[in-house]
Every structure is written in structure tokens, then in C-alpha cells.
Amino acid sequence: MVNNYLIIGADSELAQEFIKINSTNKVNFFKISRNPIESDVLIGDYFNDVQKIIDYVESLPKCYIIFFNGFLAENRPVQYPSNEELNMTFKINFHVPYFLTNELLHLDNIKKYVYISSLAAVKPRLKNFVYGSMKRLLEQSIKSLGLKNVLFLRFGKIRPSMSTGHKDMLLTMSKKTASELIFKNIKKTGISYPNFGLWFISIFLKFLPIKLINFIEIEND
């Protein structure tokens, strides 16, 4: 059986790695991004070009749609996010994937909606409050749409350039490992942690007071 994957944000490093490691499997990839090299449909702006996106998706066979959209400007000890970066954090991590999901709801050829979320959504902390809040908002907002076949994969730190300058956390993984875990967990639904270690840390974060988490992180900078 051939699986079809529609990749949103196909120019992201993680998306490119996911495509590369699965290129030998029985898989078809359909790609949307603003990068002409990485896209089957060139998008100038996800909002302005939404009808182009809808028309393209409607023409595809039944597929998984994976949102690789992500932007992180916080959690760097030597650099703090500007207002522009904070606006980008809102737009890329929440607004774009939520908007597109809402616009594609009427299509019947989407097998499952998959979102690359973050452990930061468990409990947004001082060092990544906006990023974690946007990931959490996306999860809650997508749930409110009433979709049944939805998967949120909560990763920790992955090593693309987006994380340059960020300290490695426990269970930090490579793009290759993360991509393999996406493929391995694709049949799950709801909020899922790609491995046991991330699930265990999420339990720890849920019950640890936020003031203590912030204190520990600041002391270890």
C-alpha cells in the first residue's frame, strides 16, 4: 500500500529530512512551501494564496497532511526576541497551521492532520513562554474544530538551525531520529510523545511548580 504525504512547510530542515529518509519507502510526497526548490506549488503567502492551496490539495489522492511550520526565537541566553520575532512566533506556530486547517476542513481526501508540536506546550516557561503558548494554543484550537483524525507530536529539542544557540536539553535528538519517529508514530491520534523519555519528562513538567522550573533554568544558563 502506498502512503501519500502532503507536506506543509516543505522547506523546513525537518521536513526535508523526513522526505529524504522515506524516499525509498512506498511513499508519495506532495509539497507546499514558499521556496520554489522545495515546493510542488509555489506559495507567496499562505493567506493570500489559500485558494491555490485548496485547489491543489483537492486534486490529490487521499493523504496524511503534516504541518512542519515552526519558528523559535526565544530560549537563547545571548539573544532575546524582538517584536518582529514575537509576531513571527505567533504567525508561523499558530496562525498559519490553524488557518489552513480551517480552510481545508471541507475536503474529504485528507486521511489525518499531523502537527509537529513541542514539549514546551505542556507548561510554557519563562524562557519559551510565547513559543510554548502558541504550540499549546494550536493544539487547543485544532481540537475545538472537532476533527477526529488528528495527531500532535510533542518533541523536545531537535537539531536544525532553528535551535542554533539553544542549549541541549535532556533527550535532544537529531533531525534524522525525529524524522524516523514521525514515521513510526504516524498512525497514533491525539497528543503523543515520540518516545518514552519525552513522555516521562512531560509528567515531570506537569507537576513541577513553574517558579521552580524557571529558577532551575535561569541558574543553569
**Can you tell me the distance from the alpha carbon of 179 to that of 175, in angstroms, rounded to the nearest whole number?**
6
Structure confidence at residue 32 (pLDDT):
94
Containing 7, the helix (H) or strand (E) segment is strand 3-8
Q: What is the pLDDT of residues 189-218, one digit of tens each?
A: 999 998 888 877 777 666 655 554 444 443
Return the minimum-mean-pLDDT range out of 43-47, 60-64, 76-80, 191-195: 76-80
Contact 191, 154 (CB under 8 A): yes
**Cell representation of residue 128:** 519559551
SS3 content of the chain, % helix, strand, coil (to 5): 45, 20, 35
**Mean pLDDT, the chain, whole residue set:** 84
Cell numbers linked to 37: 526548490
pLDDT tier for residue 170 given thresholds of 50, 70 and 90: low
Integer CA distances (angstroms), 127 to 52, 124, 147, 198, in order: 38, 8, 32, 19
Report the predicted TM-score, pTM, of the whole model to 2 decimal places.
0.85
Which of the listed CATH numbers 3.40.1010.10, 1.10.3080.10, 3.40.50.720, 3.60.20.10 matches domain 3-219? 3.40.50.720
pLDDT band at 221 (very low <50, low <70, confident <90, very high): very low
- Residue 220 is predicted with a pLDDT of 44
User: How is the beta sheet containing 3-8 ordered, strand by strand?
Assistant: 41-42, 27-33, 3-8, 63-67, 110-118, 150-155, 190-192
pLDDT digits 0-9 by tens, 11-49: 899 999 999 988 776 889 999 998 877 778 888 999 999
Per-residue pLDDT for 70 more than 80?
yes
Give the pLDDT confidence of 115-141 residue by residue, as tens digits: 999 988 887 676 788 899 999 999 999
